[in-house]
Structure 1
Amino acid sequence: MTCKRVLIIGGTGYVGQHLLEGLSNVALEQDFDLAFTHHSHLPPEPLLKAIHSHCLAFPVDLRNGDGFDAISVKFGQPDVVVNLAALSVPRACEMDPVTAMCVNVPSALIEWFSSFEDETTLLIHLSTDHVYEGVKAFYTEEDETAPVNVYGKSKVESEHFISENWANYAILRSSIIYGPQTAAPVRKSLPVQWLDSLLAKGREVEFCRDEFRCPIYIKDVITIIQTLISRWMSDCNNMQLVLNVGGPDRVSRLQMAETVAAVRGYKSSLLKPISASLIDRGVKSPADISMDISKLIRVLGFSPMKFEEGVRLTLTEATQGA
């Protein structure tokens, strides 16, 4: 097998950094070259120290495609592209729908793909559970997509654009991703760490009892992506795959907080249930976008870990790193 090339779009974000570390550790062993893109900030020094020096970094603007030509010249056509770049804060998308659509729909990326004579590049694209309306439990990949906010709409549009314009793809509809901090700490709040810091104050806190998700541990997400990459490198058969990527537990925001409290030993009496209808986030949030992950388990032969186990691992690592 000739050496393959793997490109991560959005390598300095939360999932991107974890994926870079994971792939960097196996790139030499499995004989593939690795590169990543960044946009808002230069690659931070702690990240560069955490990955091998052979990994190339490129500035790219997904809105207009600036930077892709430099990748063609210095890295060549990638065999696999993992697109993790997105405007993913629902409220920010609601406030600026034009930018949300421009960034989240990878039109410049697909246009770059079309510049290559060989159209076999595998695109692994991170989507979201927000593509579902949120009116029932355990959505399957075959259920209708009917998003209630701009973020979800932009991701549905991205899925349609990819499926209509590229023949080799895996779309991953991810739930809340949680886990340990990255080598270079990201600015955004991490779910479990945020809950931990909130409950550590010892004051009463309100949590939604009627908003359900299937949170997934970050290292399970990385395993899923690595499995897809390895599978394609082995057989090179085109994929046209859509997968729900969540954990096995359907939990409310309240139950997420209860799990953190139980692991940490905080008083459960501090947790006060509230209906999501009483909270104004400046954007509509789907009530129940829990997902059926039986297809993920069947296709990849992999089962994500339970939420409580992931919380324990996250908080243990946070304590050890403090």
Structure 2
Amino acid sequence: MEKKRVLVVGGTGYLGQHLLEGLSRAEELGLQRPYDLAYTHHRPAPPREMTDALAPVLAFRVDLETGQGFDSISETFGQPHVVINCAALSVPLQCEKNPAYATAINVPSSLVGWLSSFANNDSLLIHLSTDQVYEGVKSFYKEDDEAVPVNMYGKSKVSSENFISSNYSNFAILRSSIIYGPQTMSPVSKSLPIQWIDSMLSRGQEVDFFYDEFRCPIYVKDLVNIILILIKKRVSDENPMRLLLNVGGPERVSRLQMAEKVADVRGHDSSLIKAVSASSVDRGVTSPADISMDISRLTQELGVTPVCFKNGVQLTFGEAHVEA
């Protein structure tokens, strides 16, 4: 039986590393057939911690703007059965300052072009999008609601979704909310949301949090599990997939409520948490107010119910007791 080949694009990022860790032990999680695993990176070399932990997983340097490096994957690894695209310029302010670069990275034209070059172009492309495709003027957006992004990050991700659906026939697009959870095997440089809140409150200083900006944060290992389920579906059923899913946690929480739950779990003084309006701060980029998502399609299609935010915080910090 031919081994199934899985490629993670953007494997050195936060989700990419957690996904590689999950994939490296996916057989015990229900992926029954044997497979080979590889990932791409943009830096000159992948972190030593990753190469040591994941050996013999293959790593390839790829430039997503030009597509340089994909030919090496074809020659060494072959056509992947599944590709998970985690690569993105995901900091909204950076996207606002450099819209051309944001579009070049976030719209996967070189990746789709490479996948389409195979004579048998039936690789499943799992693409990470964002809740910021929504305008943010109501609660619990559904996948069929119109995507009206208010910043360049969201616009680039809408463009990526449209590009994939118009130019590729086998895909699953996952609109993810804030992803949180433990640090990665090779620590990422960006600030992790739960760890940042914990760090700020542990100093005993007052901190401002928005009471009027709502999201559905998702625990990273729930997102990994969702992707593993999609890979399993591709392994067991080779029919093309055209799937769009909201991927968030089960709760609509404000930034203020997130901080309060972290304080509760970690035993911090909740009086340090100060409620302010998002309109009181100029972040240099427009941020949607309420992009909470309805995840009923996710539950129906894949049978997944992500953990609630408090439980995810407990799991992030390795708390022994997690409520049912």
- TM-score class, shorter-chain normalisation, is over 0.9
Alignment of 1:175 onto 2:177: yes
Query: Structure 1: which amino acid aligns with 2:34?
Result: D
Partner of 2:296: 294
Equivalent positions of 1:19-98 (< 5 A) are 19-26=19-26, 30-51=33-54, 53-98=55-100
Shift of 1:30: 2.8
Find 1:192's aligned residue among 188, 191, 194.
Answer: 194
Q: Is the 8 A contact 2:26 2:228 kept in 1?
A: no
Any gaps of 5 or more consecutive residues in structure 2? Answer: 320-324
TM-score (norm 1): 0.96
Shift of 1:2: 2.3
Give the Cα separation in 1 of the matches to 2:196 and 2:211. 18
Give the Cα separation in 2 of the matches to 1:193 and 1:304. 20
Partner of 2:312: 310
Partner of 2:112: 110
Q: Is the 8 A contact 2:211 2:254 kept in 1?
A: yes
Partner of 1:277: 279
Shift of 1:225: 0.3
SS in 2 for 1:34: strand
Give the Cα separation in 1 of the matches to 2:44 and 2:92. 21
SS in 1 for 2:208: strand
Cα deviation digits, residues 61-107 of structure 1 (max 9, x gap): 00010000000100111111000000000000000000000000000
Moved over 2 A (4+): 26-30
SS in 1 for 2:21: helix
Partner of 2:6: 6
Cα deviation digits, residues 215-253 of structure 1 (max 9, x gap): 000000000000000011101111100000000010000
Q: RMSD of the TM alignment (CA)?
A: 1.3
Equivalent positions of 1:83-232 (< 5 A) are 83-232=85-234
Shift of 1:120: 0.6
Give the Cα separation in 2 of the matches to 1:26 and 1:180. 19
Q: Is the 8 A contact 2:44 2:61 kept in 1?
A: no
Give the Cα separation in 2 of the matches to 1:49 and 1:181. 17
SS in 1 for 2:275: strand
Q: Is the 8 A contact 2:4 2:33 kept in 1?
A: no
Classify 1:41/1:249 alpha carbon distance in 2 versus 1 (closer, same or farther; 3 Å).
farther
Partner of 2:322: none
SS in 1 for 2:25: helix
Give the Cα separation in 2 of the matches to 1:293 and 1:281. 29
Give the Cα separation in 1 of the matches to 2:106 and 2:128. 10
Give the Cα separation in 2 of the matches to 1:29 and 1:298. 23
Give the Cα separation in 2 of the matches to 1:26 and 1:132. 33
SS in 2 for 1:30: coil
Q: Among the aligned pairs, what percent are the same residue? A: 63
Shift of 1:41: 4.8
